[in-house]
Amino acid sequence: MKDFKGKIAFITGGASGAGLGQAKLFAKAGMRVAIADVRRDALHKAVGEIVDFAGCKVTDVLPLCFDLTDRKAYEAAADSAEAIFGGPPHLLIQTAGVNSFGPIEASTFDDFDWVMGVCLDHVVNGLIIFVPRMIKAYGGKDGVPKEEFHVATTSSMGAFMGGAGTGPYSAAKSAVNNLMYSYAMALPVYGGGATVLCPANINSNIGNAEKFRPEHLRNTGYHVSEGTMAHLSSIHAGGIDPVELAEYLKEGIENGRIIVMPFGPPEEWMKMLRGNNETIEDYILTAAERNKKMEERMAAMQRNGPPPGAWSVPEGAEPFGGARKDLDYIDPSRNPKW
């Protein structure tokens, strides 16, 4: 996606931090922007900041206050944005996120439900709600869209490694990465694309996220206080500027990048990523007997073909992995054939 002027964007977490930076940058690029957040006062303030930064009209920015984990509320917000702007977003960016730190073994159900609900479930909600609408409105055939469209999600460097003190967050972000890889494989046939943004530290207010944890999910196993939030906030204050981060994302979208990783110094991050991958590499290299058996099996299949019945189709069977037959916006190439 390269042409943003006059198009529609829908950005979650758009009232502050990375989401606000994205809203500012894409509004300046000429987009009408819907920003979704659970904090009404922050949304009102964000509209003014976006208008001042982008030089756009107030009517080009639509604030939507709702809980992103509430699917009915999300769908109603999507309907409102579509009615006001005249169509679904050409660009969906899901950036809202929360975090809380504590020993993984101290985690409660509420810790997982809150962090994974915002960081993963809200992403699923937006994709399920918006992608069919985007395909119907803008999708084309053979990779040529009627209009350009794209989905993006703000993930984290935490997606690439576990953390004994960040279990729910790391698990959610790892799932988000794989989810976006899947959409990146599926959407090009319609002329769309997908990008996942994996930053390190961002200058945002995520350090205060515990203040907005819902009452019914406050049974945490972690030590949380004004002091812990102050410490986190001081760390995030040194992170990348949200508009600068948005520039990395915009460049990635323009160039069809599936993954964008703005961080540095690269040597330190490569060292961390390699350390994480060594667990897998060590298994592959040391499982000699298992590898030998697999090699023998593959060689036998090359000599003799697959075992009898390996690829036979049972009577009454149908190809699996296809879409429901009444979903007429699904490209036929996305359904399997025998």
Q: Annotated active-site positions, please? A: 169
What letter does residue 141 receive in the DSSP assignment? Answer: B
Which residue, chain included where needed, has tokens 């009915």?
72
**Separation of alpha carbons 216 and 198, rounded Å:** 30
Q: Which residues contact 295 (CB under 8 A, 6 or more apart)?
A: none
How many other CB atoms are found less than 10 A from the CB of residue 108? 16
* Spatial contact of 96 and 145, defined as CB atoms under 8 Å apart: no
What letter does residue 69 receive in the DSSP assignment? Answer: T
35-45 in b/e form (b: 16+ CB < 10 A) is bbbbbeebbee
For residue 202 the two structure tokens come to 């961002």
**Separation of alpha carbons 336 and 293, rounded Å:** 32
Q: Which residues contact 178 (CB under 8 A, 6 or more apart)?
A: none
Amino acid at 189: V
* Spatial contact of 180 and 209, defined as CB atoms under 8 Å apart: no
What letter does residue 307 receive in the DSSP assignment? Answer: P
* Spatial contact of 183 and 35, defined as CB atoms under 8 Å apart: no
